[in-house]
Amino acid sequence: MASRILALDHGTKRIGVALSDELGWTAQPLETYERRTLDRDIAHIQELVQTHDVGRVLLGLPLRLSGEEGPAVQAVRQFVERLAASLPVPVITWDERMTTKAAEELLIAADMSRKKRKGVVDRVAAAILLQSYLEAQAEPASPAAAEVRAEDWDYSTETEPSDETAPDPDRAHPRRRARRSGRLPDDSLG
């Protein structure tokens, strides 16, 4: 059963592409696709969906900072309609405000030259978009997080919590716990 999510940062010249792991915990930049024609763009995305066993495609929705929709949103919605009609998996949108700026800042902090940044900023923006989506889906209300809390927290009311019996807040979050144990790498992209 396909469980990976393919994220697309839709642009007029390029499409940034990122892919989740099978567990839906982490996002990794995959490629920056140079756009050609709409039909060729969709064919390439179809190939990625098949090759990587994708179960869902996520497209960034470029809302204005105020949350309003502008012309760029309409272009993405039209692309989503065409893409959804061509793929055997669901296509959803997610707010992508500030992902490209965050990607630029991350690459500048990594001391990447302007020329190299141009080639990777779109795929890094797609990874930031996807990671945002994955984290929103893994909120504490999810069954997996609830199971971890039920196992790890001491809910007894017979004694006052002491430093030894008080639950560690890091233990309630499965990703944080996995990261500390070394089973999950840092969120860094470099």
For residue range 120-130, list pLDDT tens digits in order. 878 888 998 99
- So what's the pLDDT on residue 157? 42
- So what's the pLDDT on residue 181? 54
Of 22-26, 81-85, 103-107, 126-130, least confident by mean pLDDT is 103-107
Every domain of the chain and the residues it spans? 4-137, 143-181
- So what's the pLDDT on residue 63? 77
Tell me if 60 sits within 8 A of 93, measured CB to CB: yes
Q: Which residue has the higher pLDDT, 175 or 46?
A: 46
Q: What string of DSSP letters covers 47-95?
A: HHHHHTTEEEEEEEE---TTS---HHHHHHHHHHHHHHHH-SS-EEEEE
Q: Tell which residue, 33, 187, 15, has the closest CA to residue 106.
A: 187
Report the chain's mean pLDDT, rounded to a whole number: 76
For residue range 125-162, list pLDDT tens digits in order. 899 899 989 988 876 654 444 443 334 444 444 444 44
State the pLDDT confidence band at 7, using cuts at 50, 70 and 90.
Answer: very high
The yes-or-no verdict on residue 77 having pLDDT over 70 is yes
How would you classify the pairing of strands 91-95 and 54-61? parallel
Mean pLDDT, residues 100-115 taken together: 73
- So what's the pLDDT on residue 140? 61
State the pLDDT confidence band at 82, using cuts at 50, 70 and 90.
Answer: very high
Q: Which residue has the higher pLDDT, 43 or 149?
A: 43
Tell me the C-alpha distance between 12 and 34, whole Å. 9
In CATH, 4-137 is 3.30.420.140: yes
- So what's the pLDDT on residue 175? 53
- So what's the pLDDT on residue 139? 66
